[in-house]
């Protein structure tokens, strides 16, 4: 399928999905939601189900057994913030901004903002952002736990000196930013792929239940992990002081 509102690239086992609507500051419309749903193997609906379609697409991302990192460069407001929260990890540039401004339009978030935000930053912080409708910068988002890391990436000349534009501002290096995010993802992908999926399942399902039930779920998944070839390879590699070669079996 040819996409009009997103960019989809796969390189070295890492798929990069980029919202590509620069004239609309990468806001999410129905066409973009449909494309997101398709790229994550999910069909979207129309009409009243517009919000449900967005939730379904974001749930697909959240429950994907492979790690997904949101690389946030710019404004992540409303649906954009909700999309980032559906990802397993969030990395932002220093000039990124986050917020859920829906109440200013007489609306509320519809793609999971009222549910995922409290789970990430706590009830009080979430209500402050949801009721106030304001924006926070990347540093504040990191402080409250909304993002996992803030990365400063500026273009440099051949001497290593940062390049400035005509206004004296540092020039952002998008490719360097994405390279750093991919490097982080590669570090995660070096771990056991089945174990990564089990961790994601344990966390996501565990958050929906009480602690005793969550612990039972963890025990079940631990038992499943112990029965894999990857667990044997991981233990042997540790004892032999070498890099494990996981096969996802």
> Looking at 55-59, 150-154, 195-199, 243-247, which range is the least confident one?
150-154
CA nearest 94: which of 169, 149, 25, 16?
A: 149
For the range 188-192, what are the long-range contacts, defined as Cβ-Cβ under 8 Å and sequence gap of 24 or more?
188/67, 189/13, 189/14, 189/67, 190/243, 191/246, 192/225, 192/228, 192/230, 192/231, 192/234, 192/244, 192/246, 192/248
Phi, psi of 147 (to 5 degrees): -120, 155
pLDDT of the residue at 41: 60
- Phi and psi torsions of 34, nearest 5°: -60, -45
Domains of the chain, each with CATH number or no CATH: 6-189 (3.90.226.10), 193-239 (1.10.12.10)
Residues 6+ apart with CB under 8 A from 232: none
Q: What is the pLDDT of residue 154?
A: 77
Which residue among 102, 162, 201, 218 is the active-site one? Answer: 102
Q: Output phi, psi for 28, to 5 deg.
A: -100, 125
pLDDT > 70 fraction of the chain, expressed in percent and rounded: 96
Q: Which residue has the higher pLDDT, 34 or 117?
A: 117
Per annotation, catalytic residue among 31, 82, 158, 218:
82
Better pLDDT: 52 or 158 = 52
pLDDT at 37 over 90: no
Q: How many residues belong to the chain? A: 249
pLDDT in the model for residue 135: 96
Burial of 127 per CB tally in 10 Å (0-12, 13-18, 19+) = middle
Least confident of 76-85, 154-163, 195-204, 235-244: 154-163
Say what the pLDDT of residue 47 is: 39
**CA-CA distance, 118 to 61, in Å (whole number)?**
18
CA distances from 66 to 82, 99, 100 (A): 19, 26, 27
Mean pLDDT of the 47-57 span: 77
Mean pLDDT of 202-212: 94
pLDDT the model gives residue 130: 97
Q: Is residue 211 predicted with pLDDT exceeding 70? A: yes
Q: Which residue has the higher pLDDT, 95 or 160?
A: 95
Is residue 166 annotated as a catalytic residue, yes or no?
no
Q: What's residue 42's pLDDT? A: 43
Active site residue 102: yes
pLDDT of residue 46: 43
Over residues 199-213, mean pLDDT: 95
Residue 45 pLDDT exceeds 50: no
Q: What share of the chain is helix, strand, coil (3-state, %, to 5)?
A: 50, 15, 35
Strand, coil or helix: 44: coil
């Amino acid at each position: 399928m040819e996409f009009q509102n997103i960019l989809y690239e796969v390189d070295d086992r890492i798929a990069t999905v980029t919202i590509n609507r620069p004239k609309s500051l990468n806001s999410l419309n129905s066409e973009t939601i449909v494309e997101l749903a398709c790229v994550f193997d999910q069909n979207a609906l129309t009409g009243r189900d517009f919000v449900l379609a967005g939730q379904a697409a974001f749930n697909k991302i959240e429950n994907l057994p492979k790690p997904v990192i949101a690389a946030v460069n710019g404004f992540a407001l409303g649906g954009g913030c909700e999309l980032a929260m559906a990802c397993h990890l969030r990395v932002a540039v220093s000039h990124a901004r986050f917020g859920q401004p829906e109440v200013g339009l007489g609306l509320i978030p519809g793609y999971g903002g009222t549910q995922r935000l409290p789970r990430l930053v706590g009830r009080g912080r979430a209500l402050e952002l949801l009721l106030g409708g304001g924006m926070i910068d990347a540093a504040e988002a990191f402080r409250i736990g909304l993002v996992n890391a803030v990365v400063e990436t500026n273009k440099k000349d051949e001497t290593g000196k940062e390049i400035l534009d005509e206004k004296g501002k540092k020039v952002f290096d998008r490719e360097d930013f994405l390279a750093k995010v991919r490097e982080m993802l590669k570090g995660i992908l070096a771990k056991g792929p089945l174990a990564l999926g089990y961790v994601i399942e344990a966390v996501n399902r565990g958050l929906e239940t009480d602690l005793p039930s969550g612990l039972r779920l963890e025990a079940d998944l631990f038992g499943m992990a112990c029965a894999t070839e990857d667990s044997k390879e991981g233990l042997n590699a540790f004892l032999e002081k070498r890099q494990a070669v996981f096969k996802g079996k």
